[in-house]
Amino acid sequence: MPVSLPARVLSKTPSSHQTPEWIGFWALSLGAVAVCLAALIYFTSDDPVAASFVLLAIATIIGAVLWEVAQTSDRV
């Protein structure tokens, strides 16, 4: 026997341009992973250039994602 939902629940539509609530946590966790990976590269192969490249690449990715989220949240 099917159960019908109340009209209040049916009228809610999620916004497609909402800023993700977990984007800050994602950025921090990706930064922590980058630091760990850079430390692993630096201490195992003694290569500061590769370690700094990892940090720079991950910082660029985080910056691009946060910039895009900021741009889409301004359009709303």
Task: Show me where the domains of the chain are located.
Answer: 20-75
The mean of the pLDDT values for the chain is 84
Which comes out higher in pLDDT, residue 31 or 17? 31
61 is written with which tokens?
């990715």
Q: Compute the half-sphere exposure of residue 71: CA atoms within 13 Å on the CB side of its CA.
A: 6
For 30-56, what is each residue's pLDDT tens digit?
999 999 999 999 999 999 999 999 999
Which band of pLDDT confidence, cut at 50, 70 and 90, is reported for residue 8?
low
**What is the pLDDT, as a whole number, of residue 22?**
86
Q: Compute the half-sphere exposure of residue 34: CA atoms within 13 Å on the CB side of its CA.
A: 18
CA-to-CA distance for 35 and 47, rounded, in angstroms? Answer: 14
**What is the pLDDT, as a whole number, of residue 37?**
97
SS3 label, residue 46? coil
**What is the pLDDT, as a whole number, of residue 42?**
96
**What is the pLDDT, as a whole number, of residue 36?**
97
CA-to-CA distance for 24 and 76, rounded, in angstroms? Answer: 20
